[in-house]
Amino acid sequence: MSLPQFVLIPGLLNDADLWRDQVSGLAGVARPLVADITRGNTLAELAETVLAASDDRFALAGFSLGGLVAQEIMRRAPERVTHLALLDTTMLPDTPERVAERRRLLAMAQKPGRFHGFGNKLAASYLAPENQANREMIARVRAMTERLGPEVFIRQNRIERPDSRSSLPRITCPTLVLCGRHDVLTPPALHEEMAELIPGAERVILDHSGHLTPIEQPEEVISALHDLLSR
């Protein structure tokens, strides 16, 4: 019997390197596939792209923006998903403050000059305090943003973030809700609420991580995904 497919959806301005540790760490129990969400303009388009590239049945993990895509997949084709992991994401629409911040970042991305999309200010928002001076982590994230560039950032940043709270109680597959203790973008309290809305969801909070759990705490994420597949 072949191993089950595990589709891993990266976040905004992330490519397959976000999941590189999980791809190797899951290889003994699953066939990891990192989805490409760089081309669509809506959650619906991104979800259909992922579904078209996936097996008839598959496990699914979505990080940040990828978690929004995963929730859209659960609305469109829940019968195809055997296990679900939502990492450092949200089920809420943008607040007015977040809308304003997105507009500011879009304006910056549209300016001429070298684009890397991950300066020191963003590093402070995305990483746990103990990781904010970690040059290897910062270089890894910056390399992803440089590879994808401003056009992908602008397209992904414009995608509407819906209110998904009403659809979460309809999720029936084994589900993991995970985030970093120091995630200030999608904080633990938000994930507690998310897990409460999904029947039987398991909550995992990683103490030594901010928003970028697959990079900051790779082994712990691998372990949580292994546990999910065993459910």
- Of the listed ranges 58-72, 145-159, 210-224, the one predicted with least confidence: 145-159
- Taking only the tens place, the pLDDT of each residue in 173-182 is 999 999 999 9
* Predicted confidence (pLDDT) at residue 211 exceeds the cutoff of 70: yes
Q: How confident is the model at residue 185, as a pLDDT?
A: 93
Contact between 159 and 42 (Cβ < 8 Å):
yes
8 A C-beta contact, residue 186 and residue 161: no
Residue 1: per-residue pLDDT: 66
pLDDT of residue 33: 98
- pLDDT given for residue 94 in this prediction: 86
The confidence score (pLDDT) of residue 115 equals 63
Report the pLDDT averaged over residues 196-223: 98
Q: What is the 3-state secondary structure (H, E, C) of 137-188?
A: HHHHHHHHHHHHHHHHHHHHHCCCCCCCCCCHHHCCCCEEEEEECCCCCCCH
Asked whether residue 107 carries a pLDDT value surpassing 80, the answer given is: no
What would the pLDDT profile of 22-62 be if each residue is shown by its tens digit? 999 999 999 999 999 999 999 999 999 999 999 999 999 99
Helix (H, G, I), strand (E, B) or coil at 32: strand
